[in-house]
Structure 1
């Protein structure tokens, strides 16, 4: 319900496209803070808060991490130094996206090769057979090399 004082969380969610649960999470993460609370302790969001939520939603839709979003939120759009910092942040994110694209292309090739294992004419499925063989070759969990953490 909108009024002169602002919006309750459900209205802010409707106006921003961010779910109420995500708004609460972003508050917990320090990305947004409602400007006030009503007499009955409801969070009250301003138009600026709704804009900030839209900004966060847009950045998340571009697969940015919360840290990247936090960095961009801290920048001033009128500052030349902050413009440079925004470029650095975006260049870094592009690097993550390009790495993920390489991973996805490799996965695509692997899936195509796996699919080519079977044309459905044999008595048994060679796709499932190949997956079982790969599972048998997997190292034990304790001996598994650590994998780099995902970006997002």
Structure 2
């Protein structure tokens, strides 16, 4: 009988971890070569083949900044390693709920959209938040203002 090894490890876990590392490395190299910055490290994209107009449209393929979408055998194909989940495809698509994008920000918040209106609303929401942060940096709070400009008695 063969002797059992004293070290226990899960070969499938090791293979999946090394596969994920290799995939992330490949993705980083591909995006660096195209000059596109990655804002969303995790995400997913799917296209509903039943509602897609495909050859009659191809607007999503033209809009994709990384060429992650391409035409293949009568349908739109996706190269997941190239997709940066920017939403340009959803914004340009003329069919609502055809392309669904889910993405995760570095702070852990998850965003999901499938209609051009949702992309515009999300962008506006993010811009309002950034503008508010910028204004609060530039202008003092009421307490700081009073401390600075109240005459000493």
Q: Which has the higher contact order (CA 8 A, sep 6+)?
A: 2
Scaled by the length of structure 2, what TM-score is found?
A: 0.30
TM-score, structure 1 as length reference: 0.31
Hey, which of these two has a bigger chunk of strand by percent? Answer: 2
Structure with greater helix share of residues: 1
